[in-house]
Structure 1
Amino acid sequence: MVKKLHFFLFLNIFLLSFSFTIQAQTRFCKRVAAVQNIVERSHYQPKPLTDSLSSSVFKLFIKNLDPDAEFFTQENYSIFKEDRFQLDDNIKNHDCDFIEKYNVELLKQIFFVKNFLNDFNTEKFQYNNAEKITLNPEAVPFSIENNIALKEYWRKKIKKEILDEIVEQDTILSSIQKNFNRLEKEIKPKIIAKNLCLLNEISLKDGNVKEFAKNSFLNALLKYQDPHSSFFSNSEKVGFERSISSNQESFGFSTEKNDSGEIVVRYISPGSPAFKHADFEVNDIIKSLESNGDVLKTYCVSDEDIQDFTRAEDHKTILFTLKKKNGRIQQVKLTRTLQKVEENSITGFIVEKDKKFGYIKLPSFYTDLESPNGLGVANDVAKQLYKLQQENIEGLILDLRFNGGGAMKEATDLSGMFINKGPLSILKYNNGETFTIKDANRGSLFTKPMVVLVNHFSASASEFFSAAMQDYNRALIVGTPTHGKASAQVILPLDETDQDLGFVKLTVEKFYRSTGRSHQGIGVQPDILLPSLYDGLKTSEKFQDFALKADSAKITLKPRPLPTIPIQHLKRLSEERVANNKGFHLLKQTNKNLVKAYFDTSEEILTPIENYNRTQEYKDLWKPYTNFKNEFKTNFTTKNTNSTTEVLSYSPDYKTMNEQVIEEISSEIYIEEAYNILTDYINLQNH
């Protein structure tokens, strides 16, 4: 009776809370209209408001709201389905009432799941029945029939997570069987509590479910145009700008969530406000944040919520309430200051055996958004190259693996440092007009042989640079095919006079190689291919919904490449080494086993613990390669330049970080093979 009363009381509050005010409704409509106007005016290839848009946006919207298909049922679909071919008309008619049903249904489903998760705490789970649990199910929307089936789905999900944790803690079957009841009793409430926390995160996302649903719709509307267009709130805009900026206002720390749902200080940047305050330490638990009357309690919130709060324009000074390792509660007040974005900084290293080469890893094509000259990664590379050339290096390895791109100007400036002059790329706008990007400066900063390392996650500006180096025969491109993103985006406000309305990151142009060819959806193909753990996975641009298609552009200025590199000979030498390299052999085998076991299977397993060894199988798949990698050391030595060594002598913290980077370089089979390829290249030139 009490539970029923609680439910009806909640339902009344719930329905009242979802009564739209005219102001909120008008604001959402204003955003929808502004997004559609900007798309029609500025997108590279805007799609018309038709039933096709409506059905596609509907699917994307549901996916955004319920990405793992674990809330909405076929009963919810019966409520939503009328919008499938109606959303285009809603947009045309400025009718935004449709959003209300999604707010109501999502919160209702979250509450329903939270309710029976609490009931699971007192329910005795059975583990001896031959119960099937599907591995890696595709997240198919509305695949669950009704709320009865939804409850059963979540019961299996919780049981699977409990079994995963048990097998994670004890891999010996006889020991697991002996201690199963004790382990299950300890782990079950923690798993349930963790899932309840995650549900709270969803219900509080973007402030509340209302904002979450609205932003999910705006993103669906933009993602239908192409995968890289999206809606940004103010804090999301700041976060994106940080990812491509060399300097940003920051408190200088990062966080992670522990198994108890608490936010823990994971890392503190040397020299930052957090670093300078003696009472702000790694492993502190952040209990709350307070600024200008706003308070964020941190239990069951996400790292994203912490970032949003600390990035807010009016949260320049924040009072942090911390729980120290000894249990003491401490309050610390910090003020944001302009900091070098640590992830976006580079150092040149020397890698040396028979020959001495420079090695530079580029994390992104970051820039200085505050500077009129936009000095960023190209300027930093120039400084490191100067230091490296003082050491008389014979060649250079530029590492662009996992570099997702950034500022196109930086890619242009960096490319110009390695060629004499000429066209680098061709831009094409939505009206069909083209513009050739040129390196107008005669001469090169560095003329010795180069290898550029790339992988499946090298994208956008990384591909711009790699393609230019390849088209000019300026460098050997080594690794795997790149991501295949050949489009450029800009950030635009939805309303110039009301920036609180939000922003869009919009695709406004495509770029092409100086030869007129496109790598859109194809990627830059390496001159020398190396195996990867990601081979066979659908990670590239061409697998994304609504990706732009490859075409070509008219050439107005032909590039004048350097003499052809003897790629076939160098490729043959590399292939012989890779075939006889234990690390690459184990890597290929690991990739093959992982793809087969986890990405190409619809296998089902049983819940009796003697049959539930999936976690151990997963560990066993990784073990041979992991053991090799932990013990592997390159055949060259890695060290700092004399200039860097002098700087490090004044900073013990940076010295520790530097030592870790050197250790990483010294255990990399890819960098070793890049070193060997560059050595072969120089030896060929000398004969």
Structure 2
Amino acid sequence: MKTTSKFSTTLLAILLLLTSFSIHTQDQNSSSDSDAEKDRVLIYVLKNILTRGHFVTKDLNDDFSELVYDSFINSLDPSKRYFTQEDLKEFSQYKYQIDNQLLQDDISFYQLVYNRFLDKTKNAKSYYTDLLAKPFQFNKNEIIDLDYTKVPFAKNDNELIDYWRKQLKLQTLGRIQNQIDLQEEKLKDDKNYAIESFETLEVSARKEVLENMDELYMRIQRLENDDWFSTFLNSVVGAFDPHTTYMDPTKKENFDQTMSGKVEGIGARLQEKGIYTQVSDLVAGGPASKQGELEPGDIILRVAQGDEEPLDIVGMRLSDAIKFIKGKKGTEVRLTVKKKLDGSTKIISIIRDVVQLDETFVKSSIVKKNGKKYAIIDLPSFYIDFKDNNYRDSAKDMEKEIERLKSEGVVGLIVDLRNNGGGSLKTAIEISGLFINQGPIVQVKYRGENPIVKSDIDPQIQWEGSVVVLVNEFSASASEIFAAAMQDYKRAVILGGNQTYGKGTVQNILPINQFYPNYKEDLGYLKMTIQKFYRVNGGSTQKEGVYSDIAMPSRYSYMKFGERDLEGALEWDKVPQAKYSQTNSYANFNDVVYKSKERIAEDTNFKLVNEYAKWLKKNQDETSYSLNYKKFLKDSEAREKEAEKFKSVFDYKSNLTFVSPQYEQSIFKNNKDLEDKRIAWHKNLSKDMYVSEALNVLSELKLRAPSKIIKN
């Protein structure tokens, strides 16, 4: 979530402060010297920005040092595959010194751990290659615990290799079991199917594991100092709070694409396949899709910019290859491609264009219930293009979509915010304003200052009908601003999981070169928490989220993954209530909520979902696995038997028929791919028990006369 305005003055003050000093840098005579200089510059700038501008005042002390120490080591070695207690003994000399090093722009801790990590990853290939060269002892009684937070680091290299052995043995067992299950399925269809022996399956499984490990370490070897130093920087900035992150230039570009829903390029999704760059999917309506020759599965060998000499990208890491394939609208790229179908090599010319990622944008569907038309609007994120004010954003699209639905006689709306992780604060305020007259939407607060009320100032109401907001445990940030405003104004019924994610903070994206303007390389960006936001009733959504008016069981009901479960998350607090007037939109709000809760409590589908959620939680807590083949199969069969009980948990089917709005149906004539996507979506909606209950609630709500309001 990004906001600007007042903070620019603070940034200017920091900029003047930073640029009035300089750090001692080494002569750039070698790439390693250059890397070290860049690393020190980043540390110097980031520590100054964070200590002066972050929402939380945090001393760089021993506690801070310990947080960075633990975070960096766990980020590099989360599965305890590389470092031993002997390594940690050496690293620990810096455990309470990192704060002092940061103050002196010293990166000794990083260099020690990073160089040791490089050595360890080089050794890894010999470890797993030797271990996978011969069969494991599957009759041995031993277990592995996959909760690595409980597992100590290996005492020495011999114990480390044994950790490797257990992990590889588990992977092999998993593949053997998959092959056995597959054979049993084939035997059901073909009684003459020849079952392969355990020995044959075991050899095949080890070969698969070896191939996967080789591919993994091929990718690891392509990573450079910048990639690993980014990990260290995120350990440093993340010690302030979980949502403060360092973004290198590539990650920032990806962030912008996600926020805007567009990219300039050929419209193809790419993936690493060994040493190759492979096409995984084409974006419907994109340049590659329209050109027609590039297909999923094709491998791109060389890339040429127009008539220039082609560049060989075989062996190049994916992020670098993408830089050459993407480009400005109207420019030509020539791809030398190995075709999946027949293995032939072909040169494909594509003119780049702006590619819209349709799954990012608002979409709607209309359904009839009891003779009335209702609609569901899916809002996947609060998207915006910060660089182009004229480009579409979620607020403009919502306003347009609502107007189209009104023209078709829709009388009630479901706004679906499930899995919506947030986005732009500005659009969250504007979308909230579509449903109320005018007034406060959210309060934002900088460090040490009084809260600022952010209001909808447009007296026009775009939608005056009934509203249900559908949320789940992954609805976060801007989603929570909108849901909280609708709840505080009594404008909508909030329906979904027990509570939303609980992210009540605002981040700003800062270009680091702005604070060190003489540096020639792109230093990347800092996404920094600068504000907390609060509901108009004064309470924060931080950690607490928004509690649903009607809570429904879901598969996530007992899981730990919300803001409240993140280490270092900021605490819940409150500020004075803003002055606002509830719309008091519904004459029977409490009755509808009560009836819905009764339906859910008695519904066999929701009862089964609740049992399923408990079972998932139990499995999540059981992190130990037997590495004895017979015991492993027995445990797996027991889990599968338990899972059978929940096989039909989401087999719900309503008698509702969902259709696209008329404007979209006219588009289908020239866009079959969009039509297919909508048919699939509508089919899923008809099988969605949460949408069905939302429609029950929506159809029961009775609007009150507009003049009935409650003052707060």
Query: 2:282 aligned with 1:268, yes or no?
Result: yes
Quote the sequence identity (%). 29
Give 1:351's aligned residue: 367
Query: What is the correspondence of 1:115-194 to structure 2 with a 5 Å cutoff?
Result: 115-134=126-145, 136-139=146-149, 143-171=153-181, 179-194=197-212
TM-superposed CA distance for 1:636, in Å, is 1.5
Give 1:239's aligned residue: 254
Give 1:216's aligned residue: 231
Kindly provide the amino acid, as one letter, of the partner of residue 422 in structure 2. G
1:599 equivalent among 598, 604, 620: 620
| Alpha carbons of structure 1 residues 358 and 130: separation in structure 2 relative to 1, 3 Å | same
Contact 1:528 1:571 (8 Å CA) reproduced: yes
TM-superposed CA distance for 1:613, in Å, is 4.3
Which whole-Å CA distance do the structure 2 matches of 1:298 and 1:676 have between them? 56
Contact 2:332 2:349 (8 Å CA) reproduced: no
Contact 2:336 2:345 (8 Å CA) reproduced: no
558-567 or 115-124: bigger deviation? 558-567
1:432 equivalent among 449, 453, 463: 449
| Alpha carbons of structure 1 residues 472 and 318: separation in structure 2 relative to 1, 3 Å | farther
Give 1:665's aligned residue: 685
CA-to-aligned-CA distance 1:380-426 (integer Å, 9 cap, x gap):
11111112111211200010000000011110110000000111111
Query: 2:474 aligned with 1:419, yes or no?
Result: no
Kindly provide the amino acid, as one letter, of the partner of residue 107 in structure 1. L
| Alpha carbons of structure 1 residues 332 and 612: separation in structure 2 relative to 1, 3 Å | same
273-282 or 47-56: bigger deviation? 273-282
Query: 2:589 aligned with 1:573, yes or no?
Result: no
Contact 1:290 1:296 (8 Å CA) reproduced: no
TM-superposed CA distance for 1:459, in Å, is 0.4
Kindly provide the amino acid, as one letter, of the partner of residue 145 in structure 1. K
Which whole-Å CA distance do the structure 2 matches of 1:312 and 1:228 have between them? 30
Contact 1:99 1:213 (8 Å CA) reproduced: no
Kindly provide the amino acid, as one letter, of the partner of residue 74 in structure 2. K
| Alpha carbons of structure 1 residues 159 and 664: separation in structure 2 relative to 1, 3 Å | same
Which whole-Å CA distance do the structure 2 matches of 1:245 and 1:550 have between them? 30
Give 2:694's aligned residue: 674
Give 1:383's aligned residue: 400
Report the secondary structure of 2:181's partner residue: coil
39-48 or 245-254: bigger deviation? 245-254
Query: 2:658 aligned with 1:642, yes or no?
Result: no
Which whole-Å CA distance do the structure 2 matches of 1:417 and 1:52 have between them? 46
Aligned residues: 658
Contact 1:519 1:550 (8 Å CA) reproduced: yes
41-50 or 312-321: bigger deviation? 312-321
Which whole-Å CA distance do the structure 1 matches of 2:311 and 2:101 have between them? 36
Which whole-Å CA distance do the structure 1 matches of 2:375 and 2:348 have between them? 43
Which whole-Å CA distance do the structure 2 matches of 1:675 and 1:47 have between them? 48
Contact 2:586 2:704 (8 Å CA) reproduced: no
Kindly provide the amino acid, as one letter, of the partner of residue 541 in structure 1. E
Contact 1:256 1:264 (8 Å CA) reproduced: yes
Kindly provide the amino acid, as one letter, of the partner of residue 574 in structure 2. S
**TM superposition score normalised by structure 1:** 0.89
Contact 1:473 1:562 (8 Å CA) reproduced: yes
Report the secondary structure of 1:267's partner residue: strand
Q: Which runs of 5+ in 1 are unaligned?
A: 1-18
Contact 2:428 2:481 (8 Å CA) reproduced: yes
CA-to-aligned-CA distance 1:446-499 (integer Å, 9 cap, x gap):
010110000110000000000010011110000011000111111101122356
Give 1:362's aligned residue: 379
Give 1:76's aligned residue: 87
TM-superposed CA distance for 1:212, in Å, is 2.9
TM-superposed CA distance for 1:189, in Å, is 1.2
Give 1:451's aligned residue: 468
Which whole-Å CA distance do the structure 1 matches of 2:477 and 2:662 have between them? 34
CA-to-aligned-CA distance 1:102-154 (integer Å, 9 cap, x gap):
222111111111112222343232212223233x3234585222211111111
Give 2:101's aligned residue: 90
TM-superposed CA distance for 1:200, in Å, is 2.5
Query: What is the correspondence of 1:460-479 to structure 2 with a 5 Å cutoff?
Result: 460-479=477-496
**TM superposition score normalised by structure 2:** 0.86
Which whole-Å CA distance do the structure 2 matches of 1:618 and 1:86 have between them? 47
TM-superposed CA distance for 1:683, in Å, is 9.4
Kindly provide the amino acid, as one letter, of the partner of residue 329 in structure 1. T
Report the secondary structure of 1:501's partner residue: coil
| Alpha carbons of structure 1 residues 448 and 643: separation in structure 2 relative to 1, 3 Å | same
Query: What is the correspondence of 1:516-555 to structure 2 with a 5 Å cutoff?
Result: 516-555=538-577
CA-to-aligned-CA distance 1:75-121 (integer Å, 9 cap, x gap):
21122111111111111112223322122211111111111222234
Kindly provide the amino acid, as one letter, of the partner of residue 22 in structure 1. D
Which whole-Å CA distance do the structure 1 matches of 2:327 and 2:161 have between them? 38
Report the secondary structure of 2:556's partner residue: coil
Query: What is the correspondence of 1:507-518 to structure 2 with a 5 Å cutoff?
Result: 507-518=529-540
Query: 2:32 aligned with 1:21, yes or no?
Result: yes
| Alpha carbons of structure 1 residues 527 and 437: separation in structure 2 relative to 1, 3 Å | same
Contact 2:587 2:703 (8 Å CA) reproduced: no
| Alpha carbons of structure 1 residues 270 and 603: separation in structure 2 relative to 1, 3 Å | closer
Which whole-Å CA distance do the structure 2 matches of 1:140 and 1:565 have between them? 54
496-505 or 322-331: bigger deviation? 322-331
TM-superposed CA distance for 1:615, in Å, is 4.7
220-229 or 42-51: bigger deviation? 42-51
Which whole-Å CA distance do the structure 1 matches of 2:552 and 2:133 have between them? 53
Which whole-Å CA distance do the structure 1 matches of 2:476 and 2:332 have between them? 33
Contact 1:288 1:322 (8 Å CA) reproduced: no
Kindly provide the amino acid, as one letter, of the partner of residue 167 in structure 2. K
TM-superposed CA distance for 1:331, in Å, is 3.7
Kindly provide the amino acid, as one letter, of the partner of residue 158 in structure 1. L
Give 1:280's aligned residue: 294
